[in-house]
Amino acid sequence: MSSNKEVKELQQERTDIFHDVYDNKIPKRVPVNLTIGIEALAQYGNIDIISAQWDISILEDALDQLCQELYSDVCPGGGSIRFPSYYDLLNSQSFMMGSDGFMQHPEVHGMLPEEYDDLIENPYDTLIEKVVPRQYKALSAKEPFNVAISLAQSIIAFNEEMGRSAALKGKMTEKYGYYPGGPAGSGGFTEAPLDFIADQLRGFKGMSMDLRRIPEKVAEACEAVYPIVLKKGMPTNTSNYGLVGMPLHMPTFMREKDFEKYYWPTFKRLLEEYASHGVHVSLFCEDDWTRYLDYLYDLPTDTEIRFEYGDPKLFKEKLGKKHIITGLYPLTYLNTHTKQECVDKAKEYIDILAPGGKYFFTFDKAVVSMQEINIENFFAVAEYVKNHAVYSNPGEVAGMKFNKEDYKVSPSREISSKYFKTWDDFKEMNPRISDKGQNRLLELEDRLFNHLTYLLL
C-alpha cells in the first residue's frame, strides 16, 4: 500500500488536473471520472442489493477492493441520491425499490391538466398541497400528526443516508487520494423548469400531450416554477470548482420549434442566472442532442456537458472551445468488443476530444448494473486513459474563459407561499422571537424547502 505522502501527492495531482480543466488550463493529463452505482457495487462484491440499499456500510469492503482494481481520479462508488428508507416511509409512488433491489421511477403524474392555473397562480402551494401528497401517500393521511411524523422520519432518514454515503466516500477518498470535488456547499442539484413539470407533475405522456393541446399554459407554468428550481439548485458556497447537476430529459422528444419556444427560454435563463453568481452547471444531455448544438453553444462559458450519443468530432468542433465536454464513449461497447477494441475506442475518443483541453474522460452513462459491462474491459480502458491521455503542453490556456460579469438576468418573482416563511412571518407567528435567531431559522426553512422540492426531482 502507498505511503501517506504518496497518497497526498496523488490527491494533489488529481486536484490539480480537475482544477486546471475548470480554470481554462491544459492539465497534465486527462482526468478520469469513473463511478458505478451502489447496485452495481453490490453485485461486484457479491452482496445482496436490497441489504445494501438499507445499509450502505456493508459495501465498504467491496468499494475498497474496487478502488484497488479500477483506476479513477474520483472515488468510484459509494454514492446515491435514491435510498429506499425515506421513500418507503412516505409511501412513495414516484420512486420505489423493485424486487431485485434496483430503485425504479415509474411513469406517474402528480398534477392534473386542469390544475395548470393553480400552479401558475400559486406554484409552491400547489406543489405542497396537491403534487407532494399524491406522489407520497403518507403525506395525504387524514391524521395531521401522522403526516408530521412521516415527514419528520423522512427528513431524519434522508440526512442519515446521505451522511453515511458521504462518510464512506470520504473514507476512500482520503485512503486512496481521490479528487474530493468542490468545497463544501458549492454543489447542487435541480432540473430545468419544463423537465421539472414533466418529471413528476405531468409525466412524460402528460407533458407530450400538454405541448400539443395547451402549450401556452406550459410556458406560463415554466415561468411560475422557475424561482423554485433556481433556489433548489443554488449553492450556499460559490466556487469555480462547484457544480449544479442537471439532467435534461424532454428536449430530444420535442419538436425543435417547441423546444425553442417552451423549453429553451427558462432553461437558458436559469443557467445565466447561476452564471451571474459565479455558479457553474453540469448538464447530462440524455439521448442525442446533435440538432441542439447551436443552442448549447449559447449557454454560459464552461458549462460542463455530458453527452450520451452523437458524433464526437462535431461536438468538439462546435463546443470544445467554450464548454467542458465529457461522456460519449458508449458503455455498451465494453460488453460487445474485445479488450483491445475497447482500448482502441478509448484512444479514438481521446484523440478527438482531448486536444485543446476542456475535457475529462467518462462513459456515456453511469454503470447501473455489472451486467452492462465486461469488468476487465472496464478496468483496461481506465488504465489506458490514465497512462496515455497525457498532454505535451500543460499550463497553456484552454479555450474561452468564464466571466460572471458577462451574465445579467432580470429578477424573477419571489417565492411567495404560506408554506415558505420569511423572517416577518416568523415574527408574526411568535412576537417574542429574538432577532439573533433570524439566520438560524431561515436556514432551517431553506433546509425544509430543499427536502420537499427534492422529493419532486
**Res. 118 pLDDT band, cuts 50 70 90:** very high
**Res. 12 pLDDT band, cuts 50 70 90:** very high
- ∠ CA 337-338-342, nearest 5°, is 75
**Strand-pair partners of 189:** 245
b/e burial code for range 13-28 (CB count within 10 A of at least 16 → b): bbbbbbbbbbbbbbbe
Give domain 4-454's CATH architecture: Alpha-Beta Barrel (3.20)
In this prediction, residue 413 carries a pLDDT of 80
- Scan for cell 436490497, then name that residue: 50
In this prediction, residue 177 carries a pLDDT of 98
In this prediction, residue 253 carries a pLDDT of 97
At 383 the three-state DSSP class reads helix
Query: Average of pLDDT values for 21-42?
Result: 98
Query: Average of pLDDT values for 125-149?
Result: 96
* 95/86 Cα distance (integer angstroms): 10
pLDDT digit string (tens) for 369-384? 999 999 999 999 999 9
Average pLDDT, the chain: 97
Query: Average of pLDDT values for 338-361?
Result: 98
Query: Average of pLDDT values for 278-304?
Result: 98
pLDDT digit string (tens) for 256-272? 999 999 999 999 999 99
Query: Average of pLDDT values for 400-404?
Result: 96
In this prediction, residue 410 carries a pLDDT of 86
The DSSP string of 332-367 is THHHHS-HHHHHHHHHHHHHHHSTTS-B-B-BSS-B
In this prediction, residue 1 carries a pLDDT of 54
Residue ranges covered by each domain of the chain: 4-454
* 183/239 Cα distance (integer angstroms): 7
Nearest to 352 by CA among 315, 298, 393: 315
Q: Which cell goes with 288?
A: 442525442
Nearest to 301 by CA among 376, 389, 400: 400
In this prediction, residue 2 carries a pLDDT of 74
pLDDT at residue 172 above 90?
yes
